[in-house]
Amino acid sequence: MRRIGLVGGTFDPPHIVHLVLAEFALDALKLDAVWFLPAADPPHKDDTRTAIEHRLVMLEAAIQDRSAFTISRIDIDRPGPHFTVETLRLLRAAHADAEFYFVMGGDSLRDLPRWSRPAELLELCTFVVMGRPDVTIAADMHEATLPGLKDRVILIDSPMLGFSSTEIAARLRAGKSVRYLVPDAVLSYIEQHGLYR
């Protein structure tokens, strides 16, 4: 079985926490690859700041030098909104030879009971979780509402990075630097197209 990590998100914009999360999961679990799943139409957000076409180019630029990373268009090429449980069902059907590891930050694990049909997710993947400095997590934190979750969570050691795309976009709107928070190629694209201003 191939071991595939999945990193979902709007990537609006993609930043180094996304890349660190993917890299540390790849290394810790000896994954064969990490697939990034950009959400064209995320159900939990009223609107994205940037069109999917821009976000896709930025994500491609962010991962261009890492052969183990690739982008899946599964949530781009079909009508939304897209829920993780449906995405995982489609991936499992299309890739029966793969075992999927959904890679996330501690804030996503904290919020997991509010996701669409979270109990079904336990049948579809293992959760790989990177801590965040502003969130306290434990593998068994939702055991009362999601029995068996603790057996489907792997906590990985990684740098405690706590910023988000929302904070980066706010810095850009305020005319502040985001150098070193996003890859240079992403920053160049943002500047070239006047995004987040």
Residue 3 pLDDT grade (very low, low, confident, very high; cuts 50, 70, 90): very high
Amino acid at 183: P
The residue extents of the domains of the chain are 2-164
Predicted confidence at residue 40, as pLDDT, reads: 81
The CATH number that domain 2-164 falls under is: 3.40.50.620
Q: Are 105 and 161 in contact (CB under 8 A)?
A: no
Which secondary-structure segment (H or E) carries 18?
Answer: helix 16-29
Q: Are 100 and 130 in contact (CB under 8 A)?
A: no
Q: Per the structure block, which two tokens stand in for 17?
A: 């926490």
Name the nearest CA neighbour of 102 among 13, 165, 18, 25.
Answer: 25
pTM exceeding 0.85: yes
What percentage of the chain exceeds 70 in pLDDT?
Answer: 96
Residue 164 DSSP code: -
Which secondary-structure segment (H or E) carries 171?
Answer: helix 165-173
